[in-house]
Structure 1
């Protein structure tokens, strides 16, 4: 159904956006890429520090702009608000860890920046129509 399609599409979209925004050739002097260049450092930080607190004010400071301006830049360049992008990135990393490691579910959630196992499970289930444990069991069979 639609859940399966979205579960397949979201990781592909995230990877494409990340690749475009972190490839030097795409962040040259073309004015259309000014926002991409400004966000490149922020995107790298998000992907490399998922377990940390990734608040919008902290990310705006990293980009050197106000919170309101950061939200606008991010939405314009990425097509989704920062908090949604962070959640989708965390969920995608969690999906990868569930499929490729034997880490306990709680540890997967923690390493991906979820505040508790129950919060992780609720977010994962909303995105993938399955609990993390159910997803892991399904992917391994």
Structure 2
């Protein structure tokens, strides 16, 4: 099946669904609910049409493979397109330099946003890179999660949905227009790096995977590693070794615990490996520390 609609014109898009595909329309405040007829499949979308941009949240499943086409060319009507799915994938025909709109629209759970391309008339060459960064960043994922967690089965839910999409847009457009390469605000990023450091300090004496730290503080691996090194002046693994060695030295000098027990305590059950690391770090063996 082919679905042919004027993608970059909110009213034309709506009337195309109503007249050509027998969708059902219900309006509530700023939202237009468009529900798919049973003979095509199941699902609906909520359309919000603003003065010079529009967006919709949709979830549907056509009963057969369906390809979307639009008579609009990419960039028509002065608009830039964004497609965002519930797994955080963000794409744009405009930014990717494509000419036509052609998508598999058989099964969709996501959001479509159309904003004036004039906003980005001074493209600093980073838009594509930033789009990829936005997929990975905590703040972007967190804002999108609040949108996709908002139910839209009843009309009143559209009020919350609209406010959350607009909140996301305010953060997102500011990021795309800025010279920053990260979606995180500096303050938010610093707070998460501090959280990561506290977590490492607490769990430094056990096996600690980067993925576990990343999950805990809400940063992707790349942002975590870079931010942690900037904050502590050491990569995470080196910071863990430093913490372990300094603790071992303190225990060697201030207690009478056996060397093997100290090694076990800080996470090294192989005494030889512990001694080698200690010597590399302090220039002497653990046994020599007590002489």
Report what 1:133 is aligned to: 287
From 184, 191, 212, give the equivalent of 1:58: 212
Considering fraction of residues, name the structure with more strand: 2
Alignment of 1:3-42 (within 5 A): 33-42=187-196
> Aligned partners of 2:277, 2:186: CA distance in 1, in Å?
34
Deviation at 1:117, TM superposition (A): 1.2
From 117, 124, 128, give the equivalent of 2:271: 117
> Aligned partners of 1:36, 1:110: CA distance in 2, in Å?
33
From 92, 96, 112, give the equivalent of 2:246: 92
Q: Deviations over 1:80-102 (max 9, x none)?
A: 11001111011001111111111
Using a 3 Å threshold, how does the CA distance of structure 1 residues 117 and 32 change in structure 2: closer, same or farther?
same
Flag the structure with larger Rg. Answer: 2
* Contact persistence 2:260–2:269 (CA under 8 A): no
Q: Deviations over 1:104-123 (max 9, x none)?
A: 11111111122421111011
Q: In the alignment, is residue 78 of structure 1 matched against residue 214 of structure 2?
A: no
Task: Give the aligned CA root-mean-square deviation in angstroms.
Answer: 1.7
> Aligned partners of 1:57, 1:115: CA distance in 2, in Å?
23
Gapped regions of structure 1 (runs ≥ 5):
1-30
> Aligned partners of 2:226, 2:204: CA distance in 1, in Å?
22
Considering fraction of residues, name the structure with more helix: 1
> Aligned partners of 1:112, 1:33: CA distance in 2, in Å?
33
Q: Normalising by structure 2, what TM-score?
A: 0.34
Q: Normalising by structure 1, what TM-score?
A: 0.68
Using a 3 Å threshold, how does the CA distance of structure 1 residues 33 and 107 change in structure 2: closer, same or farther?
farther
How many residues are treated as equivalent by the alignment? 107
